[in-house]
Structure 1
């Protein structure tokens, strides 16, 4: 049976018209269909599909509901966002409340704030980003902004960033706005994956200088040699994120590259998914690297002062 067009969700009454009460009971008893929200049915095989769940959520509320938050970001194609459970926003006047599998937000909005993606009512990308940057999971929202900027031309990327700033300036609820503006400034669109965005945010929030993303190491004649995920070129410290596949398949290559970078005077540090969950080890190693650089700089300055002092002594003699 085809439920609800392209997304496969339908109101109970529509299913009864197609199957009859007995047919509906049999479909539910056999597990072919399931009721995800009161009065809304889907095929059990589609229960984990975002589009199906999102459509079901809209049917469970009314036409005033709009998909928002991480659900909207996921529907906009941003892989860093977890679309489930479904998030929707309804006007303040609505009495709808959150329930299992459905997170309800209350906020007044304009028709111009809403777009359609695959026939689903969704908040516009800039509004979805601004709202999420002010929310509890601003780290994921930051990765989503980085991802959204990634494939845009500089002009379009600047336009999106500016649109996010405008949304933040117009928020009635000012909670989280200051941090959201900082995150919007920090996003570069250069990260190749959400974990790289998470990593950049971790080191900045730990108090380290803002690193350069996707920093190119070039040969004397200008050829691109390596590209570092994050780097502090002034002190020659590089930071690379190793996903599981990279760690398993490229360990030998990465070790050789790190050795070559050490020969060029760089300190290379590697981070893993475990470091994103608990960055204690990573931050300690990074702190040691900066202390080494600071010590080297002091030593060079001291040597220079000694040479200057000896030169003055000879002149006075």
Structure 2
């Protein structure tokens, strides 16, 4: 195979033929078609960065990755989407499967790149996502972008003040609700379920330290003054070894005077109403000032099948 063709990078059909590769070879196990007319060695992992590089081989030179694609490249948490999203400041027609084109009148930040790819800035990405995402999804994305230090809450708020397009109000709400040190989108959901219900907002990832200053535990959500911890057990907590570690950790917290409230997937995704009621009762019993009548705003973002508060 001629060395002029680097098959570890996306290449187009004409380049393959010029390098002496037949159509039969391209259809064989040595290569993978990324998009129509774009191929790469099958030894190269199928990653978002590789897919984006392949898309650039068939898109106009002024394409900028945006929306879900930009969010993932920056490290944000967004719902799964099968398309590569690209944006332009002009009308561009693209009927390629797997590529979704957007047009915006606002200018893109100049020379912004992530993994060597042209991409909308983190702030502009959040603004663009305010149309397809809801408040909880958008805040979860903003939380992760702030956690990864690619933007700040201040920068997000400044961007919303300057933005003339649709979605500005929702983007500002998400920016106001985003917090630093949020480990996962599930932690965002737990916190926003409480906030949107009118419950006091818990602290994110509070650190309990040993006498020498090192961190003994980090709590997902907590009210440190009242020693109330709220934690989420995802699927990986079902592992027997992890269960033993969780039980030992929580028993130690209880010995230290903490109340530990454990939430699981069904509490957030199936019966959030019952979860709100439980949290309301727990916080009330510990003397935390809570409203007697809760806000119903949470219902728009959390489907439920159980009793509500």
Query: For the superposition of Structure 1 and Structure 2, which TM-score range results when normalised by the shorter chain?
Result: 0.7 to 0.9
Question: Could you tell me whether the CA contact under 8 Å between 2:5 and 2:16 is conserved in 1?
Answer: no
Instruction: Kindly report which structure 2 residues correspond to 1:1-317, keeping only aligned pairs within 5 A, or say none.
Output: 8-19=9-20, 23-46=21-44, 48-76=46-74, 78=75, 80-81=77-78, 84-96=82-94, 99-110=96-107, 112-136=109-133, 139-150=136-147, 152=149, 160-175=152-167, 177-217=168-208, 226-233=217-224, 236-248=227-239, 249-262=241-254, 266-280=258-272, 281-293=274-286
CA distance in 2, matches of 1:7, 1:201: 44
CA drift at 1:63: 1.0
Shift of the 235–171 alpha-carbon distance from structure 1 to 2, 3 Å rule, reads same
Q: TM-score, normalised by structure 1?
A: 0.73
Deviation, 1:84, is: 4.9
Checking the alignment, whether the CA contact within 8 Å between 1:3 and 1:42 is kept in structure 2 is no
Match in the other structure for 2:301: none
Q: Are the counterparts in 2 of residues 72 and 83 from structure 1 also a CA contact under 8 Å?
A: no
In 2, the alpha carbon distance for the partners of 1:111 and 1:288 equals: 48
Please report how far the alpha carbon of residue 264 of structure 1 lies from its aligned counterpart in structure 2 after TM superposition: 5.7
Contact 2:7 2:40 in 1 (8 A): no
Q: Provide the residue aligned with 1:307 in structure 2.
A: none
Aligned length: 286
Q: CA RMSD in A?
A: 3.6
Gapped regions of structure 1 (runs ≥ 5): 298-317
What are the Cα deviations for residues 70-96 of structure 1, in whole angstroms up to 9, with x where unaligned? 2112222x1634575311112342223
Using CA pairs under 8 Å that are at least 6 residues apart, name the structure with larger relative contact order, 1 or 2.
2
What is the CA–CA distance in structure 2 between the aligned matches of 1:62 and 1:199, rounded to whole Å? Answer: 42
Pick closer, same or farther for the CA change 1:61–1:293 going to 2, 3 Å. same
Distance 2:16 2:134 in 1: 38
Secondary structure of 2:200's match? coil
Structure 2 unaligned regions, length at least 5: 291-309
Distance 1:273 1:181, change over 3 A: same
Contact 1:3 1:9 in 2 (8 A): no
Which structure carries more helix by proportion?
Answer: 1
Residue 34 and residue 109 in structure 1: after superposition, are their counterparts in 2 closer, same or farther (change >3 A)?
A: farther
Distance change in 2, residues 1:47/1:100 (3 Å): farther
CA contact (8 A) 2:233 2:262 kept: yes
SS of corresponding position for 1:228: strand
Which structure is larger by alpha-carbon Rg, 1 or 2? 1
